[in-house]
Amino acid sequence: MAKGFTDEDDALLSALGVEVETKKEASRTPKEERIIAGFEEIQRFVDKHGRSPRHGEDHDIFERLYAVRLDRLRSQPDCMALLLPMDHQGILSNAVVIEEIDENISDDELLSMLGVDGIEQNSITELRHVRSTAEKRAAEEIANRERCEEFDTFKPIFNAVQKDIEIGTRITRPIRKEAGLLKTDIRPGEFFILGGQTAYVAEIGETFRAPNGESDARLRVIYSNGTESNILLRSLQRALYKDEASRRVSEPSAGPLFAGDNDEDDLASGTIYVLRSESDNPIVAANRDLVHKIGVTGGDVAKRIANAELDPTFLLADVEVVATYNLFNISRTKLESIIHRIFDPARLDIQIEDRFGNPVIPREWFLVPMFVIDDAVEKIKDGTITGYVYDPKKASLVKRKG
């Protein structure tokens, strides 16, 4: 039955040859209902205040929430298509320039101030699902990179830094927000790992006062993938905090790699250990004071050598711990690789059989006197180790050629 007509009216219209069109109520999805409900809250705000909601800490927290939501609605075509027919106030098409939201207020802080918690994840009214304008701007600045026209000039720099990292001349340290990364720590010539790319701070512009009263500056940052960005210092600082894998690259030979005592901010990385075998293998027995295993572990050395007599790595024999050195702020695997390269000319050429009779060639045993190992550790401390190699004939470390 057509709306507004009785059964008799319908019958009369039908007899006259007039089609009776039944108007169906349009059904909406739960998501669309939430979008409409959120927009109606904004409409009520406009009715009350005679303007669109605005960002800025001098405005009510609810108004700032509506402003964020409105930004989100305007940015999504499907939301615009749904809401425009009911936008009798012209809110969505209003091209008023909106002020930036306070950059120091996070989504969680806004939710906490609103007393909002546990809202359905897909709800458009949930602020946690909507990034602030400042956060979106920071993300866009990071993503908005251009091709670096002068990358051929910078490429050798990146190659040199990568080589320094590989051989241990430079180290990379995780950026911990609680430890603090000050804006003054970001200087021209600094290198960082951000988003899987090495970032080089090539230039820093004039310092200026940001709207929140803090100092800021524009940076020219070159990335190892051949791109560059003109980014705010604070935006880079925030990006480094947000990237859990971000790291800071040290200067070459930046202080001791090993020490008896470590600074409060140092990150313990493990231990370098020197072992002597008690194997009755003829080669080992004849050179027991020279045959040493040199390795690096992130765990406890005692646990590492437990059941050594069952492990071919330890020559299927008990071992004696000759020396250990604490290791800080360095890649264990890279350091071990450096040590093994230096002593490679004296690597022990030995083959043993495991418990099942399978041949095994251990690779971490060297015919090196202990005083040379001590000398190597001292050179690791002062950062000069990469310039040396072991000479078995002289039984000492000598400078590398070339």
Is it the case that residue 355 has pLDDT exceeding 80? Answer: no
Is 324 in contact with 271 (CB distance < 8 Å)? yes
The pTM is what?
0.39
167-209: per-residue pLDDT in tens? 766 778 787 654 456 656 688 889 999 888 899 999 998 888 8
Alpha helices by DSSP H, 29-118: 30-49, 61-74, 77-83, 107-114
Of 249-263, 313-327, 345-359, minimum mean pLDDT range:
249-263
Give 66's contacts (C-beta < 8 A, 6+ positions apart): 41, 42, 45, 53
Rounded to 5 degrees, what are φ and ψ at 81? -65, -35
Beta strands in 224-304 (DSSP E): 227-232, 247-249, 268-277, 291-297
d(CA 343, CA 294): 10
Classify domain 147-249 by CATH number. Answer: 2.30.30.30
Six-digit token string for 127: 């602020």
Is 67 in contact with 134 (CB distance < 8 Å)? no
117-136: per-residue pLDDT in tens? 433 333 333 333 444 444 44
Q: What is the residue extent of each domain of the chain?
A: 30-136, 147-249, 268-399
Six-digit token string for 117: 């918690």
CB neighbours of residue 355 within 10 Å: 9
273-322: per-residue pLDDT in tens? 999 999 998 989 999 889 999 988 888 888 889 888 888 888 989 999 99
Beta strands in 52-183 (DSSP E): 146-147, 172-174
